[in-house]
Amino acid sequence: MTLNTSAEYRDALAKLQVRIRDTLAGYDEILDRAEPGIRPLMERFSAAHAAHEADLSAQLRTHGCVPDEDGSFFSTVQRLVIKTRAVFDDIDEDVLNSVIKGEERIMQLYDEAMAAARDEEDLSLLSRQRGQIARLVQDARHLAD
């Protein structure tokens, strides 16, 4: 069953799903190299995004769209940046400011999708997921201080 949704919402949802898939690629690299001080938080971010991406992919299918299975070119860039950084520096608390900025961009994409959502179920899902990311960002800020 395809719900009556706008192209704007479907596009915003697809953009969010791809960005989260790209972000997961970055977290895969971070987790391979993370120092013990940040590893648990990075695992929580990765787990949240994996669950969110699965939910968003299901929502895209519900709305008659095919979710992206590979991510964008940005996922390759994410991996390369993190690998390069790991060559010159530890993946420790210093990476948190970059993580926070990336997560804030994702929260902006949630805001865009929520603004375009017409269905209460969609809005509830997006709001719940955004709230989870916001709490993790707060934890990252505390750890960065």
Query: Residue 92: pLDDT band by 50, 70, 90 thresholds?
Result: low
pLDDT confidence of residue 75: 47
Number of domain units in the chain: 1
Residue with tokens 């964008």: 72
Mean pLDDT estimate for the chain: 84
pLDDT confidence of residue 77: 47
**Whole-model pTM over 0.95:** no
Query: Residue 40: pLDDT band by 50, 70, 90 thresholds?
Result: very high
Q: 1 lies in a domain? A: no
In the chain, % of residues over pLDDT 70: 81
Closest residue by Cα to residue 103 from 35, 40, 26: 26
Q: 74 lies in a domain? A: yes
For 47-71, what is each residue's pLDDT tens digit? 999 999 999 999 999 999 988 876 6
Q: 103 lies in a domain? A: yes
CB proximity list for 38: less than 8 A, separation 6 or greater:
91, 92, 93, 95, 96, 143
Q: 124 lies in a domain? A: yes
Q: Which domain holds residue 56?
A: 7-144
CATH number assigned to the domain comprising residue 47: 1.20.1260.10
Measured in degrees and rounded to the nearest 5, phi and psi for residue 88 equal -100, -15
Q: 13 lies in a domain? A: yes
Q: 2 lies in a domain? A: no
Beta partners for residue 91, in sequence order: 34
pLDDT confidence of residue 83: 45
What amino acid is encoded at 66 in this protein? V
Q: 73 lies in a domain? A: yes
pLDDT confidence of residue 90: 53
What amino acid is encoded at 51 in this protein? A
Query: Residue 88: pLDDT band by 50, 70, 90 thresholds?
Result: very low
